[in-house]
Structure 1
Amino acid sequence: MTIHIVEVSRITPAPNSDSVLNSSNLLTIPLTFFDLPWLVFKPAKRVFFYRLIESTREQFHSFILPKLKLSLSLVLRDYLPLCDRITWDPNEPKPSIVVSKNDAVLVSIAESDADFSIFSGYGQRPASEIHNSLPEVPVSDDSASALSLQITLFPGQGFSIGVAAHHGVSDGKTSTMFIKAWAH
Protein backbone atom coordinates (compact mmCIF):
# COMPACT_ATOMS: atom_id res chain seq x y z
CA MET A 1 0.00 0.00 0.00
CA THR A 2 1.42 3.35 -1.00
CA ILE A 3 0.18 6.60 0.43
CA HIS A 4 0.95 9.97 -1.09
CA ILE A 5 0.45 13.05 1.06
CA VAL A 6 -1.17 15.57 -1.29
CA GLU A 7 -1.62 18.48 1.10
CA VAL A 8 -1.25 19.48 4.75
CA SER A 9 -3.75 22.10 5.91
CA ARG A 10 -4.15 24.07 9.10
CA ILE A 11 -7.85 24.32 9.94
CA THR A 12 -8.72 27.05 12.42
CA PRO A 13 -12.03 27.46 14.25
CA ALA A 14 -14.57 29.57 12.37
CA PRO A 15 -14.98 33.08 13.82
CA ASN A 16 -17.52 33.37 16.62
CA SER A 17 -18.64 36.68 18.14
CA ASP A 18 -18.56 35.45 21.75
CA SER A 19 -15.42 33.34 21.47
CA VAL A 20 -12.53 33.33 23.91
CA LEU A 21 -10.28 33.71 20.86
CA ASN A 22 -11.51 37.24 20.17
CA SER A 23 -9.19 38.54 22.86
CA SER A 24 -5.49 38.93 22.19
CA ASN A 25 -4.60 37.08 25.41
CA LEU A 26 -3.80 33.43 25.73
CA LEU A 27 -6.15 31.23 27.68
CA THR A 28 -4.32 28.72 29.85
CA ILE A 29 -6.18 25.73 31.23
CA PRO A 30 -4.05 23.91 33.82
CA LEU A 31 -4.36 20.14 33.82
CA THR A 32 -5.75 18.56 36.96
CA PHE A 33 -4.15 15.84 39.04
CA PHE A 34 -6.40 13.31 37.26
CA ASP A 35 -5.23 14.48 33.81
CA LEU A 36 -1.52 14.11 34.50
CA PRO A 37 -1.25 10.28 34.16
CA TRP A 38 -2.62 10.52 30.60
CA LEU A 39 0.35 12.61 29.44
CA VAL A 40 2.60 9.57 29.18
CA PHE A 41 0.21 7.61 26.94
CA LYS A 42 0.33 7.77 23.17
CA PRO A 43 -2.61 9.51 21.49
CA ALA A 44 -5.79 7.50 20.95
CA LYS A 45 -6.14 6.72 17.24
CA ARG A 46 -9.20 5.73 15.23
CA VAL A 47 -10.02 5.36 11.54
CA PHE A 48 -13.47 5.87 10.02
CA PHE A 49 -14.21 4.51 6.54
CA TYR A 50 -16.73 5.95 4.07
CA ARG A 51 -17.56 4.09 0.85
CA LEU A 52 -17.89 6.46 -2.09
CA ILE A 53 -17.66 4.59 -5.40
CA GLU A 54 -19.41 7.03 -7.73
CA SER A 55 -17.11 9.99 -6.99
CA THR A 56 -14.00 10.81 -9.01
CA ARG A 57 -10.76 12.21 -7.62
CA GLU A 58 -11.64 15.66 -9.03
CA GLN A 59 -15.13 15.60 -7.48
CA PHE A 60 -13.67 14.60 -4.12
CA HIS A 61 -11.09 17.40 -4.09
CA SER A 62 -13.46 20.07 -5.42
CA PHE A 63 -16.71 19.18 -3.64
CA ILE A 64 -16.34 16.83 -0.66
CA LEU A 65 -12.99 17.97 0.76
CA PRO A 66 -13.96 21.68 1.00
CA LYS A 67 -17.17 20.68 2.82
CA LEU A 68 -15.18 18.51 5.25
CA LYS A 69 -12.81 21.41 5.96
CA LEU A 70 -15.65 23.92 6.41
CA SER A 71 -17.64 21.65 8.73
CA LEU A 72 -14.46 20.94 10.74
CA SER A 73 -13.84 24.67 11.10
CA LEU A 74 -17.40 25.22 12.30
CA VAL A 75 -17.36 22.42 14.87
CA LEU A 76 -13.96 23.45 16.24
CA ARG A 77 -15.61 26.60 17.66
CA ASP A 78 -17.24 24.37 20.26
CA TYR A 79 -14.12 22.24 20.85
CA LEU A 80 -11.40 24.90 21.20
CA PRO A 81 -8.99 22.82 23.34
CA LEU A 82 -8.69 20.32 20.46
CA CYS A 83 -7.09 23.06 18.30
CA ASP A 84 -4.45 23.83 20.80
CA ARG A 85 -1.47 22.26 22.43
CA ILE A 86 -0.45 20.84 25.76
CA THR A 87 2.60 22.62 27.11
CA TRP A 88 4.92 21.72 29.92
CA ASP A 89 6.90 24.80 30.86
CA PRO A 90 9.65 23.94 33.38
CA ASN A 91 8.83 27.17 35.26
CA GLU A 92 5.21 26.14 35.82
CA PRO A 93 4.12 23.65 38.51
CA LYS A 94 2.10 21.49 36.07
CA PRO A 95 1.37 21.16 32.36
CA SER A 96 -1.51 23.09 30.80
CA ILE A 97 -3.57 23.44 27.67
CA VAL A 98 -2.81 26.74 25.97
CA VAL A 99 -5.60 28.20 23.84
CA SER A 100 -4.43 30.92 21.46
CA LYS A 101 -5.85 32.72 18.47
CA ASN A 102 -3.40 31.21 15.95
CA ASP A 103 -3.75 27.54 16.83
CA ALA A 104 -5.22 25.08 14.38
CA VAL A 105 -5.74 21.40 13.73
CA LEU A 106 -3.32 19.87 11.23
CA VAL A 107 -5.18 17.94 8.53
CA SER A 108 -3.19 15.79 6.12
CA ILE A 109 -4.83 14.97 2.79
CA ALA A 110 -3.55 11.76 1.26
CA GLU A 111 -4.29 9.33 -1.56
CA SER A 112 -3.79 5.58 -1.54
CA ASP A 113 -3.84 2.89 -4.20
CA ALA A 114 -4.81 0.17 -1.69
CA ASP A 115 -7.95 -1.93 -1.86
CA PHE A 116 -10.51 -0.03 0.22
CA SER A 117 -12.67 -3.12 0.85
CA ILE A 118 -9.79 -4.93 2.58
CA PHE A 119 -9.37 -2.12 5.11
CA SER A 120 -13.03 -1.29 5.64
CA GLY A 121 -14.31 -4.87 5.80
CA TYR A 122 -15.06 -7.07 8.79
CA GLY A 123 -12.26 -9.60 8.43
CA GLN A 124 -8.72 -9.52 9.65
CA ARG A 125 -6.53 -6.89 8.07
CA PRO A 126 -2.88 -5.96 8.33
CA ALA A 127 -2.69 -3.44 11.16
CA SER A 128 0.64 -2.10 9.95
CA GLU A 129 -0.96 -0.92 6.71
CA ILE A 130 -3.93 0.69 8.47
CA HIS A 131 -1.44 2.79 10.44
CA ASN A 132 -0.66 4.59 7.16
CA SER A 133 -4.19 6.06 7.34
CA LEU A 134 -3.51 7.56 10.77
CA PRO A 135 -1.96 10.98 11.33
CA GLU A 136 1.06 11.73 13.45
CA VAL A 137 0.60 14.08 16.40
CA PRO A 138 3.29 16.78 16.38
CA VAL A 139 5.29 16.68 19.61
CA SER A 140 8.24 18.83 20.62
CA ASP A 141 10.36 19.09 23.78
CA ASP A 142 7.89 21.46 25.43
CA SER A 143 4.49 20.82 23.80
CA ALA A 144 2.22 18.39 21.98
CA SER A 145 -0.72 18.98 19.66
CA ALA A 146 -4.09 17.93 21.01
CA LEU A 147 -5.53 16.59 17.73
CA SER A 148 -4.39 15.59 14.25
CA LEU A 149 -6.45 14.34 11.32
CA GLN A 150 -5.71 12.55 8.06
CA ILE A 151 -8.21 12.23 5.23
CA THR A 152 -7.15 9.49 2.81
CA LEU A 153 -8.82 9.11 -0.57
CA PHE A 154 -9.02 5.67 -2.15
CA PRO A 155 -9.95 6.82 -5.71
CA GLY A 156 -13.15 5.26 -7.02
CA GLN A 157 -13.66 3.35 -3.76
CA GLY A 158 -14.09 5.71 -0.80
CA PHE A 159 -12.15 7.63 1.80
CA SER A 160 -11.08 7.33 5.41
CA ILE A 161 -10.66 9.83 8.20
CA GLY A 162 -7.91 9.01 10.66
CA VAL A 163 -8.06 10.73 14.05
CA ALA A 164 -5.30 10.97 16.64
CA ALA A 165 -6.33 12.73 19.87
CA HIS A 166 -4.20 13.26 22.96
CA HIS A 167 -5.77 11.79 26.10
CA GLY A 168 -4.58 14.73 28.16
CA VAL A 169 -7.14 16.92 26.36
CA SER A 170 -10.01 14.61 25.48
CA ASP A 171 -11.43 11.39 26.78
CA GLY A 172 -13.39 8.83 24.79
CA LYS A 173 -16.72 10.58 25.23
CA THR A 174 -15.40 13.98 24.19
CA SER A 175 -13.67 12.48 21.16
CA THR A 176 -16.86 10.66 20.13
CA MET A 177 -19.00 13.77 20.61
CA PHE A 178 -16.54 15.78 18.50
CA ILE A 179 -16.65 13.24 15.65
CA LYS A 180 -20.48 13.10 15.81
CA ALA A 181 -20.70 16.91 15.78
CA TRP A 182 -18.35 17.07 12.79
CA ALA A 183 -20.34 14.41 10.95
CA HIS A 184 -23.60 16.21 11.66
Structure 2
Amino acid sequence: YVLVFVHWLGSIRRRAPVLSAHHCLLRRAMSSVRVIHASYVNVPATAAPPPGPIKLTAMEAPWVVLPELQHVLLYEGQDMPPFDDILLSLRSSLAATLGSFAPLAGKLVHLEDTGDVAIACSTSDGVRFVVAECDGDMRHLAGDEEHDVRVLERLVPGVDMGELPTPVLAVQATRFEGGVAVGVTVHHGVADGRSLWTFVEAWAAACRGEAHAVTAPSFDRSLVKLPGGEELARSLLRKWQCWRRRS
Protein backbone atom coordinates (compact mmCIF):
# COMPACT_ATOMS: atom_id res chain seq x y z
CA TYR A 1 0.00 0.00 0.00
CA VAL A 2 1.05 3.58 -0.48
CA LEU A 3 1.10 5.72 2.63
CA VAL A 4 0.13 9.12 1.31
CA PHE A 5 -0.31 11.12 4.48
CA VAL A 6 0.64 10.99 8.14
CA HIS A 7 0.02 13.99 10.35
CA TRP A 8 -1.14 15.07 13.77
CA LEU A 9 -4.70 16.30 13.46
CA GLY A 10 -3.99 19.20 15.82
CA SER A 11 -1.36 20.53 13.43
CA ILE A 12 -3.81 20.27 10.54
CA ARG A 13 -6.36 22.33 12.45
CA ARG A 14 -3.80 25.03 13.17
CA ARG A 15 -2.52 25.45 9.62
CA ALA A 16 -5.61 24.67 7.54
CA PRO A 17 -6.66 27.60 5.32
CA VAL A 18 -9.86 29.47 6.01
CA LEU A 19 -12.47 28.45 3.45
CA SER A 20 -15.38 30.57 2.31
CA ALA A 21 -18.84 29.70 3.57
CA HIS A 22 -19.84 28.62 0.06
CA HIS A 23 -16.77 26.37 -0.21
CA CYS A 24 -17.46 24.81 3.20
CA LEU A 25 -21.07 24.06 2.29
CA LEU A 26 -19.95 22.57 -1.01
CA ARG A 27 -17.41 20.35 0.74
CA ARG A 28 -19.95 19.13 3.27
CA ALA A 29 -22.34 18.31 0.44
CA MET A 30 -19.65 16.44 -1.47
CA SER A 31 -17.89 14.59 1.37
CA SER A 32 -19.47 12.77 4.28
CA VAL A 33 -18.35 10.11 6.74
CA ARG A 34 -20.87 7.51 7.88
CA VAL A 35 -20.27 5.18 10.81
CA ILE A 36 -21.30 1.64 9.90
CA HIS A 37 -20.82 -0.06 13.25
CA ALA A 38 -18.63 -0.19 16.34
CA SER A 39 -17.40 -3.09 18.43
CA TYR A 40 -14.57 -3.93 20.80
CA VAL A 41 -11.27 -5.72 20.29
CA ASN A 42 -10.25 -7.48 23.48
CA VAL A 43 -6.92 -8.40 24.96
CA PRO A 44 -6.23 -12.05 24.01
CA ALA A 45 -7.22 -14.58 26.67
CA THR A 46 -3.77 -16.16 26.31
CA ALA A 47 -1.99 -12.91 27.20
CA ALA A 48 -0.34 -12.42 30.58
CA PRO A 49 -2.74 -11.01 33.19
CA PRO A 50 -2.82 -7.22 33.04
CA PRO A 51 -0.90 -5.42 35.78
CA GLY A 52 -2.71 -3.77 38.68
CA PRO A 53 -3.61 -0.08 38.58
CA ILE A 54 -0.76 1.84 36.94
CA LYS A 55 -0.50 5.20 38.70
CA LEU A 56 0.46 8.21 36.64
CA THR A 57 3.76 9.73 37.70
CA ALA A 58 4.43 13.42 38.29
CA MET A 59 5.79 13.57 34.73
CA GLU A 60 2.52 12.20 33.33
CA ALA A 61 -0.08 13.85 35.59
CA PRO A 62 0.13 17.33 33.97
CA TRP A 63 -0.98 15.85 30.64
CA VAL A 64 -4.31 14.65 32.04
CA VAL A 65 -5.83 18.08 31.38
CA LEU A 66 -4.72 18.29 27.75
CA PRO A 67 -6.82 17.27 24.73
CA GLU A 68 -6.46 13.72 23.48
CA LEU A 69 -3.99 12.87 20.75
CA GLN A 70 -5.52 12.07 17.37
CA HIS A 71 -3.56 10.52 14.53
CA VAL A 72 -4.73 9.75 10.99
CA LEU A 73 -2.98 7.57 8.44
CA LEU A 74 -4.22 7.48 4.86
CA TYR A 75 -3.46 4.62 2.48
CA GLU A 76 -4.34 4.48 -1.20
CA GLY A 77 -3.82 1.88 -3.89
CA GLN A 78 -5.61 0.38 -6.86
CA ASP A 79 -5.00 -3.25 -5.90
CA MET A 80 -5.93 -3.19 -2.23
CA PRO A 81 -7.72 -6.23 -0.76
CA PRO A 82 -11.46 -6.08 -0.08
CA PHE A 83 -12.34 -3.82 2.84
CA ASP A 84 -13.69 -6.74 4.89
CA ASP A 85 -10.32 -8.50 4.56
CA ILE A 86 -8.54 -5.33 5.68
CA LEU A 87 -10.83 -5.09 8.71
CA LEU A 88 -10.16 -8.70 9.63
CA SER A 89 -6.41 -8.11 9.43
CA LEU A 90 -6.60 -4.87 11.43
CA ARG A 91 -8.72 -6.42 14.17
CA SER A 92 -6.69 -9.61 14.56
CA SER A 93 -3.37 -7.76 14.58
CA LEU A 94 -4.74 -5.18 17.04
CA ALA A 95 -5.75 -7.98 19.40
CA ALA A 96 -2.30 -9.54 19.11
CA THR A 97 -0.66 -6.17 19.80
CA LEU A 98 -2.80 -5.58 22.88
CA GLY A 99 -1.24 -8.70 24.33
CA SER A 100 1.87 -6.57 24.92
CA PHE A 101 0.10 -3.21 25.33
CA ALA A 102 -2.75 -4.35 27.60
CA PRO A 103 -2.99 -1.04 29.56
CA LEU A 104 -4.07 0.71 26.35
CA ALA A 105 -7.24 -1.38 26.52
CA GLY A 106 -7.93 -0.22 30.08
CA LYS A 107 -9.53 2.88 31.54
CA LEU A 108 -8.10 5.98 33.15
CA VAL A 109 -9.65 6.25 36.63
CA HIS A 110 -9.44 8.38 39.76
CA LEU A 111 -8.51 6.38 42.86
CA GLU A 112 -10.60 7.99 45.59
CA ASP A 113 -8.67 6.44 48.48
CA THR A 114 -5.28 7.87 47.46
CA GLY A 115 -6.12 10.73 45.08
CA ASP A 116 -4.07 9.17 42.29
CA VAL A 117 -5.10 8.86 38.65
CA ALA A 118 -4.25 5.44 37.27
CA ILE A 119 -4.82 3.09 34.36
CA ALA A 120 -7.10 0.30 35.55
CA CYS A 121 -6.74 -2.99 33.69
CA SER A 122 -8.88 -6.13 33.66
CA THR A 123 -9.16 -9.29 31.61
CA SER A 124 -12.41 -8.02 30.06
CA ASP A 125 -10.86 -4.81 28.71
CA GLY A 126 -11.14 -3.93 25.04
CA VAL A 127 -10.46 -1.13 22.57
CA ARG A 128 -13.40 0.42 20.73
CA PHE A 129 -13.07 -0.28 17.00
CA VAL A 130 -15.21 1.91 14.74
CA VAL A 131 -15.90 1.06 11.10
CA ALA A 132 -16.95 3.87 8.76
CA GLU A 133 -17.07 4.84 5.10
CA CYS A 134 -16.45 8.13 3.30
CA ASP A 135 -17.65 9.20 -0.14
CA GLY A 136 -15.02 11.95 -0.46
CA ASP A 137 -11.78 12.12 -2.42
CA MET A 138 -8.77 11.09 -0.36
CA ARG A 139 -6.55 13.45 -2.37
CA HIS A 140 -8.39 16.42 -0.85
CA LEU A 141 -7.27 15.20 2.57
CA ALA A 142 -3.66 14.44 1.75
CA GLY A 143 -2.79 17.51 -0.32
CA ASP A 144 -0.32 20.07 0.98
CA GLU A 145 -2.27 23.19 0.03
CA GLU A 146 -5.68 22.47 1.46
CA HIS A 147 -7.22 20.00 3.89
CA ASP A 148 -10.87 19.15 4.38
CA VAL A 149 -10.62 19.49 8.16
CA ARG A 150 -14.26 18.57 8.81
CA VAL A 151 -13.79 15.22 7.13
CA LEU A 152 -10.41 14.65 8.81
CA GLU A 153 -12.04 15.13 12.20
CA ARG A 154 -14.53 12.37 11.36
CA LEU A 155 -11.75 9.90 10.51
CA VAL A 156 -10.75 9.53 14.16
CA PRO A 157 -13.09 7.93 16.70
CA GLY A 158 -14.98 10.47 18.74
CA VAL A 159 -14.35 9.76 22.41
CA ASP A 160 -15.16 12.12 25.30
CA MET A 161 -12.01 11.85 27.40
CA GLY A 162 -12.69 14.95 29.50
CA GLU A 163 -14.17 13.05 32.46
CA LEU A 164 -12.88 10.10 34.49
CA PRO A 165 -13.25 7.20 34.16
CA THR A 166 -12.50 7.27 30.46
CA PRO A 167 -11.24 4.83 27.83
CA VAL A 168 -7.56 5.14 27.05
CA LEU A 169 -7.62 4.28 23.35
CA ALA A 170 -10.03 3.98 20.42
CA VAL A 171 -9.41 3.30 16.72
CA GLN A 172 -11.35 3.72 13.48
CA ALA A 173 -11.05 2.26 9.99
CA THR A 174 -12.76 4.22 7.20
CA ARG A 175 -13.30 2.96 3.67
CA PHE A 176 -12.66 5.28 0.72
CA GLU A 177 -12.89 4.54 -2.97
CA GLY A 178 -9.42 3.10 -3.59
CA GLY A 179 -8.14 3.70 -0.09
CA VAL A 180 -8.44 3.27 3.65
CA ALA A 181 -7.97 5.65 6.57
CA VAL A 182 -6.88 4.44 10.00
CA GLY A 183 -7.55 6.88 12.84
CA VAL A 184 -6.36 6.61 16.43
CA THR A 185 -7.47 8.55 19.52
CA VAL A 186 -5.49 8.16 22.75
CA HIS A 187 -5.59 9.98 26.09
CA HIS A 188 -2.65 12.37 26.40
CA GLY A 189 -2.13 11.45 30.05
CA VAL A 190 -1.29 7.89 29.03
CA ALA A 191 0.85 8.38 25.91
CA ASP A 192 2.82 11.10 24.21
CA GLY A 193 3.46 11.22 20.49
CA ARG A 194 6.42 8.87 20.60
CA SER A 195 4.61 6.35 22.79
CA LEU A 196 1.62 6.36 20.47
CA TRP A 197 3.86 5.85 17.46
CA THR A 198 5.58 2.93 19.21
CA PHE A 199 2.18 1.30 19.56
CA VAL A 200 1.26 2.03 15.92
CA GLU A 201 4.58 0.53 14.76
CA ALA A 202 3.91 -2.61 16.82
CA TRP A 203 0.39 -2.86 15.40
CA ALA A 204 1.71 -2.45 11.85
CA ALA A 205 4.37 -5.11 12.47
CA ALA A 206 1.74 -7.54 13.75
CA CYS A 207 -0.41 -6.78 10.70
CA ARG A 208 2.55 -7.75 8.50
CA GLY A 209 3.08 -10.93 10.51
CA GLU A 210 6.26 -9.67 12.18
CA ALA A 211 5.26 -10.51 15.74
CA HIS A 212 8.63 -9.75 17.35
CA ALA A 213 9.65 -6.74 15.28
CA VAL A 214 9.00 -4.25 18.11
CA THR A 215 10.31 -4.47 21.67
CA ALA A 216 7.50 -4.88 24.20
CA PRO A 217 7.01 -1.88 26.51
CA SER A 218 7.57 -1.87 30.26
CA PHE A 219 4.94 -0.57 32.66
CA ASP A 220 7.08 -0.91 35.80
CA ARG A 221 6.54 2.29 37.80
CA SER A 222 9.52 1.50 40.04
CA LEU A 223 11.83 2.38 37.14
CA VAL A 224 10.78 6.04 37.47
CA LYS A 225 13.09 7.53 40.11
CA LEU A 226 11.60 10.82 41.28
CA PRO A 227 11.85 11.71 45.00
CA GLY A 228 8.46 12.81 46.27
CA GLY A 229 7.00 12.03 42.88
CA GLU A 230 3.76 10.41 44.07
CA GLU A 231 2.76 13.37 46.25
CA LEU A 232 3.75 15.80 43.50
CA ALA A 233 1.50 13.94 41.06
CA ARG A 234 -1.40 14.08 43.54
CA SER A 235 -0.82 17.79 44.08
CA LEU A 236 -0.98 18.45 40.35
CA LEU A 237 -4.16 16.42 40.06
CA ARG A 238 -5.79 18.25 42.99
CA LYS A 239 -5.07 21.55 41.25
CA TRP A 240 -6.67 20.18 38.10
CA GLN A 241 -9.77 19.10 40.02
CA CYS A 242 -10.09 22.57 41.61
CA TRP A 243 -9.77 24.16 38.18
CA ARG A 244 -12.45 21.87 36.76
CA ARG A 245 -14.85 22.74 39.59
CA ARG A 246 -14.34 26.48 39.07
CA SER A 247 -14.83 26.20 35.32
Whether TM exceeds 0.5 here: the answer is yes
Count of aligned positions: 175
Match of 1:42 in 2: 67
Match of 1:167 among 188, 207, 213: 188
TM-score after normalising by structure 2: 0.66
Q: Label 1:139 to 1:171 Cα distance change in 2 as closer, same or farther (>3 A).
A: closer
Match of 1:77 among 82, 99, 102: 99
Matched, 1:5 2:27: no
For 2:199 and 2:183, the matched residues in 1 are separated by: 13
**Residue pairs, 1:150-161, within 5 angstroms:** 150-155=172-177, 157-161=178-182
The question of whether the paired residues in 2 share the 8 Å contact of 1:81 and 1:169 is answered with: no
Q: Percent identity?
A: 26
Q: Deviations over 1:66-93 (max 9, x none)?
A: 0110001001111111111100143332
Residue 138 of structure 1: CA displacement? 4.2
> Which has more strand, going by share of residues?
1
Larger Rg: 2
**Residue pairs, 1:2-151, within 5 angstroms:** 2-16=32-46, 19-21=48-50, 27-55=52-80, 59-61=82-84, 63-139=85-161, 141-151=163-173
Q: Which SS does the other structure have where 2:57 is aligned?
A: coil
Residue 101 of structure 1: CA displacement? 0.8
For 1:30 and 1:106, the matched residues in 2 are separated by: 23
> Which has more helix, going by share of residues?
2
For 1:138 and 1:89, the matched residues in 2 are separated by: 20
Residue 31 of structure 1: CA displacement? 1.1
Code of the residue aligned with 2:140 in structure 1: it is: I
Mean CA deviation greater in 131-140 or 162-171: 131-140
CA RMSD of aligned residues (A): 1.8
Code of the residue aligned with 2:67 in structure 1: it is: K
Residue 140 of structure 1: CA displacement? 7.2
For 1:179 and 1:123, the matched residues in 2 are separated by: 27
Q: Which SS does the other structure have where 1:15 is aligned?
A: coil
Q: Runs ≥4 in structure 1, deviation > 4 angstroms?
A: none
The question of whether the paired residues in 2 share the 8 Å contact of 1:11 and 1:107 is answered with: yes
